[in-house]
Structure 1
Amino acid sequence: MSSINSVFRRNSLSTWIRANLKVRRSSFCTDSVDGSTTSRVKIFDRDLKRKQRDRAAWLTRSDDSFVNSVAENLLDRLEDCKKSFPTALCLGGSLKAIRHLLRGRGGVEKLIMMDTSIDMVKLCKDAEKDMPDQNVEISFVVGDEEFLPVKESSLDLVISCLGLHWTNDLPGAMIQSRLALKPDGLFLAAILGGETLKELRIACTVAQMEREGGISPRLSPLAQVRDAGNLLTRAGFTLPGVDVDEYTVKYESALQLIEHLRAMGETNALVQRNNILNKETALATAAVYQSMFGAEDGTVPATFQVIFMTGWKEHSSQQKAKRRGSATVSFGDLQKQFGNENY
């Protein structure tokens, strides 16, 4: 295991390497990437999110078609790469699905699985006993995406599937991921986009206005597609790539949707949330949801917008844009040659 441990910082953070250690309770919202103090806004309650993921470890299903589809889609990108990634780090989110669906893609030889939840780490560790693929050396770490306990330039690949959208400082977490990568290392991430659960947002707003005369934050703010490319560039990644998929999942009722969100660890973790959910409001939300969006067969749809992000750590072998004025053919010449052709 010493070969995997070599990617971790050899200081006080070495205590994070044990799979059964306690999660640090200190707030990470006062430390920036370079160690200086920052006034970063705290949007999410990270301690609550850890507890929600503890609960999700007991509720998660191995046959979750939505989670498996997102993980499969994300890992497919490794097949488009001609190079291999011997040492990889998987951050939070759908850890179990990533491990199950990896199936030798990317040439991963050493895989570090990290989550803020001790129970989620234990779940992945127990599931490893039933894995037929024993050719990958696995390490389990309890850690936080906002403060990676990893050495700089020690990884070939960083994967995050449905986890990073819960960080208070998403650009900072992405910067740390870039720093942890070796030159020409790859960053792959899938996060939920702003159109996610749009049906539930509408139903919840209507029900709250009717029952309570106002609205309170029940669903988390999520990144917009237009911001994803800027996030990659801001984090210092080269050759950034962004694409979006929308998944529509059908449920028997809005209450079944809520249970699925609990099983994924995707329930409300806003700092400024209302801790008390009025029973009448909850029932009204389900009724409005069914009335506005229910299908003829009695099911209700839920939209999940997933933003896939790809970025590379800079390396001299990568393609670079030509300098301005270096073109040898003008647009006028191209128009003369192809202007009359029909496409």
Structure 2
Amino acid sequence: MARLPAAANFLAPIIAETLIDRLAMVTRTFRRTLVIGAHDAALIGHLRASGTDLAVVEAGPRLAARADAMAVEADAIELPFQSFDLIVWPGGLDSVNDVPGALLRLRALLAPDGLLLGAFVGDGSLPRLRRAVMAEGVRPVARMHPQIDLAATGNLLQRVGFALPVVDVDALTVRYDDWFALARDLRATGLSSRLNPAPPPLTRDEAARIAVAFAAGADADGRIAETFRIVHFSGWAPHPDQPQPARRGSGTASLADALKPKE
């Protein structure tokens, strides 16, 4: 990502726009903000222009140096507790080693009534590519890191103590001429494999077999549609003034009555 022009990352502005839109619906100001990931200068610039005191962390050393950010993984951030009112994470939750640990650390970094807002490419993404890398003649080794689904994201937010968690998904379809164009996009967006140790490089024969298998799903015009499922999530650090769920069993309306057909 650091070696490629910023414009090569087509996902960054899409995710940034959705996060900015969601943030605009929050009727409060945030004095201290942490951004996880320095790959989107436009998002960082927008937040800085809002007047917030902004800090940035970035796992990639080259990207961190370019953005004057702290070079650290999200699950290893060492900053004082309750340092921020807002944490924005525009991609990457699914690629850290310790997902619950990262969320727990961010929960501790938020001041009471602070907001965590983020997005990542989640479960169900890249289905054609996942089938293609299992084509006959391709060594059966893990080449894509595990993906997180909606239910798991909501459960994780609740487990680590976030209040009022919200999780939803947008499906984005992108059409490609061939597998090699998709591979270039995955490198530019930081979605190529981060497994450690890295899987063995593809041979020319394996790459050709994957390309053929990927092209087998082409539309009538010869282009192949691939799906990116962008999971959006948010949660608040608990505060006594936040809305609270009703006590279990306190409802007065009958669901059975509501579902009865009207005569």
TM-score by length of 1: 0.70
Summarize deviations over 1:14-44 as a string: whole Å, max 9, x none: xxxxxxxxxxxxxxxxxxxxxxxxxxxxxxx
Correspondence for 1:320: 244
Equivalent-residue separation in structure 2 for 1:64 and 1:280 (angstroms): 28
Equivalent-residue separation in structure 2 for 1:299 and 1:81 (angstroms): 40
How far off is 1:325 after superposition? 4.5
Summarize deviations over 1:218-273 as a string: whole Å, max 9, x none: 11111122211101011110001000111111222210111111112221121254
Equivalent-residue separation in structure 2 for 1:289 and 1:333 (angstroms): 49
Bigger Rg over Cα: 1
2:111 equivalent to 1:182: yes
C-alpha RMSD of the superposition: 2.4
Q: Secondary structure at the match of 1:160?
A: strand
Match of 2:54 among 100, 106, 111: 111
Correspondence for 2:234: 310
In structure 1, stretches of 5+ residues that fail to align are 1-55, 126-139
Aligned length: 263
Does the CA-based 8 Å contact 1:92-1:161 persist in structure 2? yes
How far off is 1:103 after superposition? 7.8
Q: Aligned in 2, Cα 1:233/1:307: closer, same or farther, shift over 3 Å? A: same
Correspondence for 2:65: 122
Q: Secondary structure at the match of 1:59?
A: coil
Residue identity matched to 2:141: S
Correspondence for 1:231: 156
Correspondence for 2:165: 240
Equivalent-residue separation in structure 1 for 2:194 and 2:202 (angstroms): 14
Q: How does 1:182-221 map to 2 (within 5 A)?
A: 182-206=111-135, 210-212=136-138, 214-221=139-146
Equivalent-residue separation in structure 2 for 1:187 and 1:239 (angstroms): 11
Correspondence for 2:18: 73
Q: Secondary structure at the match of 2:75?
A: coil
Residue identity matched to 2:103: M
Equivalent-residue separation in structure 2 for 1:310 and 1:196 (angstroms): 20
Does the CA-based 8 Å contact 1:93-1:161 persist in structure 2? no
Correspondence for 2:191: 266
Q: Secondary structure at the match of 1:211?
A: coil
Q: Secondary structure at the match of 1:184?
A: strand
In structure 2, stretches of 5+ residues that fail to align are none
How far off is 1:102 after superposition? 4.2
Does the CA-based 8 Å contact 1:67-1:97 persist in structure 2? no
Does the CA-based 8 Å contact 1:84-1:108 persist in structure 2? no
Correspondence for 1:253: 178
TM-score by length of 2: 0.90
Does the CA-based 8 Å contact 1:66-1:247 persist in structure 2? no
Q: Aligned in 2, Cα 1:109/1:241: closer, same or farther, shift over 3 Å? A: same
Equivalent-residue separation in structure 2 for 1:94 and 1:114 (angstroms): 10
Equivalent-residue separation in structure 1 for 2:111 and 2:153 (angstroms): 22
Correspondence for 2:218: 294
Q: What is the percentage of aligned positions where both structures have the same residue?
A: 30
Residue identity matched to 1:234: R
Q: Aligned in 2, Cα 1:282/1:325: closer, same or farther, shift over 3 Å? A: closer
Equivalent-residue separation in structure 2 for 1:70 and 1:91 (angstroms): 13
Residue identity matched to 2:30: F
Residue identity matched to 1:238: A
Summarize deviations over 1:257-312 as a string: whole Å, max 9, x none: 11111112221121254323121011111111112x22233322221111111100
Summarize deviations over 1:183-217 as a string: whole Å, max 9, x none: 000001212212111110111112xxx224x5111
